[in-house]
Structure 1
Amino acid sequence: MIFIPAGTFRMGSDHHQPEERFTHIARVDAFWIDRHEVTNAQFRKFVDATGYRTLAQRPVDPKAHPDWPQEMLAAGAIVFVPPKEARGRDGRWWQFVVGANWRQPRGPGSSIAGRENHPVVHIAYEDALAYARWLGRSLPTEAQWEFAARGGRDGEDDWSSAFDSEGKPIANSWQGIFPVLNTNEDGYAETAPVACFPPNGYGLYDMIGNVWEWTSDWYKAGHARETVSNPTGPELISLRLPPDQAASRVIKGGSYLCAMNYCSRYRPAARQPQESDLAAAHLGFRTVLTKPSP
């Protein structure tokens, strides 16, 4: 882990996506954060020690969802399948694959052999939290994550975390026209081994690109303008969601599927909602720990 000293920064962005507004001052106490995303090898140690089964490995109780079709009750996860043409809704690019999970990321017949140092994926929020608690840690708040991702830089968000001054990729993202053409200029069509791209100013790897990362905050579009100290996101009861809509958590950092023409969320201030019970091929995590400096 890397120790992040306490500090103050301007959180959010006023010049990109509406859900990132408004820029405001956030104060964060010191904390430790994983140097890179949790890998398949690290997650396997947790599973071997505890016998834990991820959400994607457990069939859904039909009594809990009597209206769901039979195929959605099976154990599985969401896998990205490149379409032959760009037209159509996002749902065409994702498929629920029975048997897909962290051990079989593309479904039955696939494996993580040779990918031990890649970030573990198909991890739902409760899976990430279980791993963190096993180590006596927690998941980062959005403020902790964004503060760490900025690497000591402050000011308005920019693209310098994903591309160098010549526009060359320095993080694992999608180059080309999403979702039909990926030039793989960065060398990877899917996840990349952790820490194979340059670290940020704090020595942290893959805070931008590779896989989206869970935070502990409930999602609400936008930020308040007021200065905050150690924010932990809105209270669940304050979200006032419609009866048919489940609450989501904030995910950060973008992934190997983010492109300039689509998503483009590979900036520290970028944020998206994610259903807590969804396991997907572009979603992982890292942990934090609050304890004294070395």
Structure 2
Amino acid sequence: MIEPVTGPTLVDVPGGRFTMGTDDPRGYPADGEGPPHPVELSPYLIGRTTVTNAEFAAFVDAVGHHSTAEQLGTSFVFAGLLPGGFPPTRAVASAPWWREVAGATWRHPEGPGSTVAGRTSHPVVHVSWDDAVAYADWAGVRLPTEAEWEHAARGPAGGHHYPWGDEREPDGEHRMNVFQGDFPRHDSGADGWVGTCPVGSYAANGFGLHETTGNVWEWCSDWYAADYYARSPLASPPGPSSGTTRVLRGGSYLCHDSYCWRYRVDSRNANTPDSTAGNVGFRVAADAPARASGSG
């Protein structure tokens, strides 16, 4: 049984202008990472961390929510986290390290027999965009826009691939949870973790956000379009008006530069709103409260 807790902690992010996107040739132009373009945002609030298992449990206990994975009966689990001798199941053709597992849900991240006991402070996973929106509606918050997410994830310095600069491990220091070793065969855990890590395991960026790179992919509110950056408005871009997939940001514990250099604050990804997997979670946001004005 997970002890229910109150909602996520939000931190203030100042408004202003920043440069969104990248034209780094090592990236993935087909994802629509560029062109770099100015964006202006009003002040807002965003989750200090991704939503945890304990926080999601409080929501489920309050309203009896049945997640998409629970309704469908299956979700996708990284094969390297399954126990030895796990029976063969359907794999993703383009990424055979992903296995469809009956009974994999946020409560049972590696399928039946696994549990989130002892992982209450880890990010909730196996949640769809629809699940994330349902949680946000209950908590009185919302999902961040893609622009809000990137501005907050970058931190006040901006202009770099990571919140701290352009070197992934400055002076050999691990600053995020990504796949270390020979992907997908062996994760050495050199950064301290195999699979998810508890939220707040790594130092916060200059705005006070933890794990904006690695750990779990994070749903944003926007529909995804690869050409959106070339036509997005300057002020508070809301994303395309329609689409088939929703934006995901931040990378995960499975990102490895041999195939997926997407654990950057300027990378993008997307999936259908009903998709679930063991490396997908979310953080929430809110409009900044109106400030009272006074005279003298």
Q: TM-score range by the shorter chain?
A: 0.7 to 0.9
* Native 8 Å contact 2:232 2:239 kept in 1: no
Q: CA deviation at 1:33?
A: 0.5
Taking a change above 3 Å as real, the CA distance of residues 278 and 161 of structure 1, as seen in their structure-2 partners, is farther
2:194 equivalent in structure 1: 189
Among 80, 83, 106, the residue aligned to 1:82: 80
What is the rounded CA distance, in whole Å, between the counterparts of 1:195 and 1:151 in structure 2?
16
Partner of 2:52: 39
Is 1:100 matched with 2:108?
no
Identity of aligned residues (%): 43
2:16 corresponds to: 7
List gaps (5 residues or longer) in structure 1.
Answer: 60-74, 240-246
Partner residue, 1:201: 206
Deviations 1:57-115 (A, max 9, x none): 114xxxxxxxxxxxxxxx1111110399xxx9533111111110000000011100000
Kept in 2: contact 1:162–1:267 (CA 8 A): no
Among 240, 260, 283, which residue is 1:286 paired with? 283
For 1:216 and 1:111, locate their aligned partners in 2 and report how far apart those are by CA, in whole Å. 29
Distance 1:167 1:271, change over 3 A: farther
Tell me which residue corresponds to 2:126. Answer: 122
Corresponding residue of 2:3 = none
- 1:157 is displaced (CA, Å) by 3.3
Amino acid aligned to 1:230: S
In the alignment, the residues of structure 2 paired with residue 104 and residue 162 of structure 1 have an alpha-carbon distance, to the nearest angstrom, of: 35
TM-score, normalised to structure 2, is: 0.85
Unaligned runs of 5+ in 2: 1-9, 85-91, 292-296
- How much is the aligned-residue C-alpha RMSD, in angstroms? 2.1
> 1:13–1:156: 8 Å Cα contact kept in structure 2?
no
Find the partner of 1:149 among 129, 149, 153.
Answer: 153
Alignment partners' CA distance in 1, 2:167 and 2:136? 27
Q: Deviations over 1:183-236 (max 9, x none)?
A: 211110100000011111111101111100000111111411665110011111
| Aligned mates of 1:227, 1:249 — CA distance in 2 | 19
Per-residue Cα deviation, 1:241-273 (whole angstroms, up to 9, x for no partner): xxxxxx111100000001121212111110011
TM-score (norm 1): 0.86
Distance in 1 (CA, whole Å) between partners of 2:167 and 2:68 is: 31
Partners of 2:35 and 2:230 within 8 A in 1: yes
